[in-house]
Amino acid sequence: MAPNVLDTDELNENDMLMEELPPEAALDGPPPNADDLLRRTLGTVREERHQAVRRRGRITAVSSTLVVAGVLAGGVWMGQGMGVGGTDDAVLQGTSADGAHMAVRVTDTEGGLRLVATVDGLRDGEACWLVVHTKDGRTFPAGSWRAHEGEVTLAGSAMVRAGDVAGVSVVNHDRQPLVTAG
């Protein structure tokens, strides 16, 4: 009787395994419309992927546009804060006996004074300092460079109000004025 009991156990196991499998597993071969089903599934996957790529592209375009707009707005804001193009600018000019010329645009800012100086006619290789002179006799260095042939334009700044400026000079290494605008 032992072989008969074993066969019954095997049959019970087979029945349990068959209950776990879906009915489609008992079919011989793929269903007759398997190619159509695969084609529809792949089409759906491709369409979803295409939509995701387009969505990402739109998000990137909007983000880029916002970044560019922010940079431009920041530039305009900073330019206004620095007094660029403001009506409070004063232009000082001067010429030395040696033929050096200087024009300085002076702009009052929140932190002091902003200068843009254009200098021409200095000796090539001369060490130069841009110095702001106040009405009460103080001096403030605003920039330095080494002169070369031709016109030089440089920007500088000093911790003084534009209304206190008496003049601006270019001085050499020995602090002798080369050209003064005032």
User: What pLDDT shows up at residue 140?
Assistant: 92
User: What pLDDT shows up at residue 79?
Assistant: 61
pTM above 0.75, yes or no: no
24-54 pLDDT tens trace: 666 676 667 777 888 888 889 899 999 999 9
In this prediction, residues 146-163 reach a mean pLDDT of: 88
**Percent helix, strand and coil across the chain, each rounded to 5?**
40, 30, 25
User: What pLDDT shows up at residue 34?
Assistant: 72
Matching CATH number, 90-181, of 3.20.20, 2.60.40, 3.90.320, 2.20.28: 2.60.40
User: What pLDDT shows up at residue 87?
Assistant: 47
In this prediction, residues 127-138 reach a mean pLDDT of: 92
In this prediction, residues 107-131 reach a mean pLDDT of: 89
